[in-house]
Every structure is written in C-alpha cells, then in structure tokens.
Structure 1
Amino acid sequence: MAVNNLYNIATLIKRLEAVASRLEDVASSTASLGLHPGEADIVRDIATVLAPISTNPPEPQRQFSGAALARPPEDLPVDVTLFDTFVQTGIDPFLELSQKIGGVVAEQATLLKKGFDAQRRILLIISQAKKPHGDKAAEKAYGNLLQPIEDVISSIRRIQQENRGTSAFNMLSTVADGSFALTWTAVESRPWKQAEESLTMAHFFGNKVLKEHPRGSLEAQWVETFYALFTELASFLREAYPYGITWNSQGDALGSVVTRDAA
C-alpha cells in the first residue's frame, strides 16, 4: 500500500517525538527520580533541542489516492497525513465492498469508518496538545475525546447481536471482534498489539465466511480486504506509533485545544 512509502521518514520523526516527550516527562518529575538540579537542566536542554525537530518535521513525499482532505496537506501534521493515507488505502476499499453487499453489513462498515474518523480527530488534537500530567480537567477532556470510539464499538456490537441467527451474522461478528482494534489510541505502549490481537479474534468468524463462500466471491473478497485492513493497521502502528500516540511537548493544554477544535 502507498502508506508504506511514507514510513521511513515518519518513523524517524515519531521516534524523535517520543524521545522529546519522554525527556519532558523526566524533566517534570526530577524530584521523584532523584536528579540533581544540574542533571535536570541537561535533560531540559536536550528536550528543548529535540522538540522543534519533532514538531516541525520535513514534509514527507505524499502519495494519495486522490480523495480530498478536510484541510490542505501542507497544514496537516505528519501523523494525520500518514493516517489519511492509511484510511484511503485501507478503509475505503473495505467500505466499498461493504456497500456492495449492503444491508446491515454496510451499516456496520459505515460505523467502523466513523470510528477511524474519530481517531483522526484525536490525532489532530493531540498533535497540538501537551500530555496531561495529573491534570484532572485534561484527563477528563481526554476521556471525552475517546468516548466516540467507545460508542462506535458499542453500536457495532449491537448490530451483531440484533442479527444473531441471520445469514449475515458471521460477517457482522468478524467486524465486531475486529473493532476492538479501534481502542489503540488509549494504549500507551505497543498499540499495534491491540490491532494484531483484534485481528486474531476476527479470524474465528471471518474464516467461517470464507468456508461458506467460494474464493473470488464478493463475500470472500470482503473478508480478505478486512484482514488486509487490520494487518496494515498493525504495521502502520508499529512504525508510526511504537510507543503509543505522541503528544506535543510544546503544545497547549488539552482542554484549550479541544475547545478550539469544536469552535
């Protein structure tokens, strides 16, 4: 997929961001770590040097499928640019096949896309915000930011349960089990594991669909595209977010960014 062509430059940028963020964490908790004032100053100096590099990276070469973005590419953080490419090359083909099948399968796929849209908003906001450090208001704002993803997963599973015993149940169960991968934004370390484990869960019902329908059929293509989607998600997360989502150490308070985004 085209998103792979962006990984090399993005990986370096994301790791610089992660290092800068962790150095900021260390500098903000020097007392608990037992660092001397001079050592703390060194940590802060290193973080100050790295932060501009991570927050103002060189523009990666973009290879989009042609779908319009909500904002011009030059205004987007590299995180969101990568995510947009992943969506266009991964989610869109799955959504197209789901629409061809129609009915509750299409309805559920639309909800899955809504979940990825919510993740895009999270990435855009976090790229402008500092990580909450014991700030209850910011932590509450973060919880509210994640709530739409929880709502999507609940709606996806509701459709599954309401159609138990129907011919579409195995397909609906495939998506329901895989949808837990959407929670990766709340995982602080190795979020790709969440995608891999969710894909493994989805195999149980997905493989049943493959047994029920001949190779090359619309349903078989649908399952294979779903598998490819979450395989690509795991690869994307492994490269772009090896330590979880990266906050902006020089950004604004999360509550302020959320308010500004909603305006």
Structure 2
Amino acid sequence: MATNAQGLNSLATIIKRLEAATSRLEDIALAQNSAGGVRQALDAPSSHAPSAARGSAHPSAHVPPAPPVEDSQSVKAYDQMIITGKLEPFLKIAGDIGGPVNEQSEIVGNLFRSLRDLIKCASVSVKPSDAAFMSMLGPLQSEITAVNDVKDKYGKERDLANHFSALTEGVPAVGWVTVSPKPAPFVGDMRDSATFYANRVLKDFREKDQKHTEWARGFLALLDELKKYVTEHHTTGLAWNPKGGDATQFANASAPAAGAAAPPPPPAAATSVTSAPDPSAVFAQINQGADVTKGLRKVNKEEMTHKNPALRASGTVPTASSPGVYSKKALQTRQTRSFTD
C-alpha cells in the first residue's frame, strides 16, 4: 500500500510539472505572437502618413528644367546681320585706334546691344501702350546721350571732331523703333547725316592712317545693314508678338539690378492734361547735345543792360528784331549763353 501511495504522489507531481511547463510554453507563444503583431504594425505604413513621407523611400525622377525659349527669326537675323556681321568688326577697328574714338565707339556698341534687347522683348510681348513703350526706351536714350557727351568732352580734339560728329549724327538711327509705317527710310536719313562727316574722315586720313578710313566705312556699313535689316524684318514698324506676354514685365526682368532706387518723378501739373510725347521726337531732342545752343540769337550791345545804362535805368527791353518776346530775367539768362562773332 505504501508503494502504491508513493507512485500516485510521484505521478501527480509529474502531471503538475507538465501542466506548469505547458502553461509556460503557452505564455511564451502568446508573448511571441503579440510581439510579432506589434512589429508588423510598426513596420506597416500608416494610412494617415503624409504622401511625401511614404514616397521618400522612392524619390521621384529628376524633372529637367524647361528649355530656354528659342530666339525669334528677327532676333537671329539681328545677331547675324548687325552684331556679328558689322558691329563687331567696327568695334575691333575702333579698338585698334584707341583713345576717344574707341571710347565713343564702345558706347555705340552698347547702344546696338540695347536695341537687340528691345527687339527680343518685342518678339515675345504684346505691343504696350505708348506711355509704357516710352519708359522702355530709357536704355537707348541713355546711350545716345552718352555718345553726345563724348563729343562734348573731347571738343578740343580737332583732329577727331569729324569722328565724333559722324557717330553723333548716325546713332539716332536706332529711333526707327518709334517710326511707322515705314521705319527703314528713317535709318537712311540718319545714315545720310553721318555720311557728311564720315567723308571728311575719309578725306583727312586717306594719306595718314588707313585705320581711320576703315573705321568710317565700317560705321556707314553698320547703318546700311541696319536699314536692310529693318526693311526685311520690321517693314511697317517694330514687330510685336500678338500672342506674347507683358512687355514691361519682360523688360523689368531683363534689366540689370540697379544700385539704388531712382528718385521719384516730379509731380505732374494739375491744371493741364497733355497727350503722351511722340517717341520719335525724343531721339531728335537728345541728339542736339551741345548744339542745343545754336538756336540762340546773338544779343546786341544796345540790348545788354550792363552796356546800356539808360536801358538798365528804365527796366525795359527794346523789341527784338527776331520773333519772340522775352522777359528781363530771360534776357539776362540768354546773355550768359550768347556768342560773339
């Protein structure tokens, strides 16, 4: 009996140990399943995650930048006929001459490059209003003024006076952009004005220095080619693009950054309303340069208050022989700018 009791106790102990081991194994298995589920949940992409985060593991293909807009036929022709064909050879000869001639010629180069910018703008833009177009002529006006300034600066260089005058008379040809419906003849007129002085250069330097004669012929050839170009590509005026964008925005985007903001324009007169100025007249006014004083009438001695005590005492001015009535203040101003015979 004792033996049977001991055997039953041993069997019961083994069964308990097996149950404990089985329970332990079940706990381990359950824990592993839970851990696996959590790991899968962590590894799985969230349905609420941003699309950019999900796509970060697979970056999108590189998108190449948009190709630059191809130049229009008129711009290509300008580069070929004007810049490469005539301007660059002309500037090379000017560089060989050097000095003031080269200085003024380089400004002419800048002028024709500014003209290219305007033609480029027109090829991709709708024609703007007259007022907006006037504001776009600023670079051309500035360069023409600079050409005149060189002439005034070196006015005492008598041997080069005809060089300066040839360029001064010829560069307003770029004003064809303001002329319609026949701009080419305008270029021809400016070419004729320059020819008078260019011929003097040819005459004076024919036996002295062939570089100067080549320079004079080169400038006339540049104007001839400009007239040909305008005839072929801008027959009735500067060609705009009816399907293009805003011309002023293109011009502003193309312009170099300015070092400082320009001062605000003076306030307009409130009592008068005037129409927009004629663009073609702007170039004629700019081209006067120092010659603007040529229209002044010589003041006679009897009209000068410091020469005529009686006139100074009366405070009156005798009637001038030429048309026009001037105040005393205006007359005194003109005295300081009068010329002697």
Q: TM-score normalised by the shorter chain: which range applies?
A: 0.5 to 0.7
Paired amino acid for 1:221: E
The structure whose RCO (Cα within 8 Å, separation 6+) is larger is 1
Identity %: 25
Gap runs ≥5 in structure 1: 1-71, 133-137
Q: Distance in 1 between matches of 2:217 and 2:69?
A: 34
The match for 1:255 is: 248
State the 1:144 CA deviation.
2.0
- Which of 226, 231, 237 in structure 1 is aligned with 2:230? 237
Out of 185, 195, 214, the position equivalent to 2:187 is 195
- 1:79 matched to which residue of 2? 74
Instruction: Provide structure 2 residue ranges, at least 5 long, that are not aligned to the other structure.
Output: 1-66, 257-341
CA distance in 1, matches of 2:184, 2:221: 14
| 1:174 alignment partner in structure 2 | 166
Query: Which of 120, 141, 144 is the equivalent residue of 1:153?
Result: 144
Give the stretch that moved more between structures: 146-155 or 160-169.
160-169
For the structure 1 residues 73 and 229, does the alpha-carbon distance in structure 2 shift closer, same or farther, using more than 3 Å as the test? Answer: farther
- Residues in 1 aligned to 2:221 and 2:75: alpha-carbon distance in whole angstroms: 21
Cα drift, residue 209 of structure 1: 0.9
Match of 1:89 among 85, 89, 97: 85
1: distance between equivalents of 2:224 and 2:248? 34
**Structure 1 residue 210, shift from structure 2 partner:** 1.0
Please say if residues 182 and 235 of structure 2, whose CA atoms lie closer than 8 Å, have aligned partners that are also in contact: yes
Give the drift of 1:73.
9.5
Question: How far apart, CA to CA, are the structure 1 residues paired with 2:237 and 2:133?
Answer: 15
In 1, Cα distance between the equivalents of 2:215 and 2:99?
14
Secondary structure in 1 matching 2:137: helix
- Separation of aligned partners in 2, 1:165 and 1:260: 41
Q: Shift of residue 118 of structure 1? A: 0.7
Provide the TM-score with structure 2 as the length reference.
0.52
TM value normalised by structure 1: 0.66
**Comparing both structures, which one devotes a greater share of its residues to helix?**
1
User: Residue by residue, what CA displacement relative to the aligned partner does 1:96-135 show, whole Å, maximum 9, x if unpaired?
Assistant: 0001110111111111111111111111111111113xxx
Count how many residue pairs are aligned between Structure 1 and Structure 2: 187
Provide the residue aligned with 2:95 in structure 1: 99
When residues 228 and 73 of structure 1 are mapped into structure 2, their CA distance, relative to the original with a 3 A threshold, is farther
Q: Is the 8 A contact 2:169 2:193 kept in 1?
A: yes
Residues in 1 aligned to 2:151 and 2:252: alpha-carbon distance in whole angstroms: 35
Matched, 1:228 2:224: no
1:113-164 CA-partner distances (Å, limit 9, x unpaired): 11111111111111111113xxxxx544322211111111111011112222
**Where do 4+ consecutive residues of structure 1 move more than 6 Å?**
none
- Matches for 1:1-263 after TM superposition, within 5 Å: 75-86=70-81, 87-132=83-128, 138-166=129-157, 167-214=159-206, 217-262=210-255
Give the secondary-structure state (helix, strand or coil) at the position aligned to 2:155.
coil
> 1:170 is matched by which residue type in structure 2?
N
Distance in 2, Cα, partners of 1:123 & 1:199: 20
**Counterpart position of 1:27:** none
CA–CA distance in structure 2, aligned partners of residues 256 and 208 of structure 1: 44
Q: 1:126 to 1:169 in 2, by over 3 A?
A: same
| Cα distance in 1, alignment partners of residues 179 and 152 from structure 2 | 27
For the 8 Å contact 1:180–1:194, the answer to whether it is kept is no
